[in-house]
Amino acid sequence: MVFDFLERYFDREPGSISFPIDCSDLKPYHLMVYHQLTRLPFGKTMTYQDLAVILKTSPRAIGQILKLNPFPIVFPCHRIVSKSGLGGFSAGREWKVGLLRHEGCL
């Protein structure tokens, strides 16, 4: 379940999501974004704009959607950074920094 996933994550032994997630009340836009997130492996990052280009939208809209992420860490929105610097984070930038350092991205 979720805790196994998180335990593996914090032990740096990444794995795919092995438990069901209820996406029934997510809109199509959100699914697109979160789906892209699941394709981003541990230790890699992308910019808001990269996602925006892929999904034919604007970087700002990506931010809007990421901040609504219902499952942070399992949908790794912390791996999306600003082009010049670190972006924002719903749980506070401290968390984002911590997570990225844990993944060796800083």
Partner DNA sequence: GTTATAGGGAATT
Partner DNA sequence: AATTCCCTATAAC
Positions annotated as catalytic residues are 77
Place of tokens 């593996």: 8
For CA atoms 9, 17, 66, 37, give the dihedral sign.
positive
18/83 with CB nearer DNA: 83
Torsion angle of alpha carbons 20, 25, 30, 33, nearest 10°? Answer: 10
Cα–Cα distance for residue pair 53/48, rounded to 1 Å = 9
Tell me how many residues contact DNA (CB under 7 A): 30
Piece of the chain touching DNA by CB under 7 A; list 2-10, 12-20, 87-95, 97-105: 87-95
Indicate whether 29 belongs to the interface with DNA (CB under 7 A): yes
For residues 89 and 100, the answer to whether their CB atoms sit within 8 Å is no
36/49 with CB nearer DNA: 49
Indicate whether 61 belongs to the interface with DNA (CB under 7 A): yes
Q: Catalog residues that contact DNA under the rule CB under 7 A.
A: 27, 29-30, 47-49, 57-69, 72, 77-78, 80, 82-84, 87-90
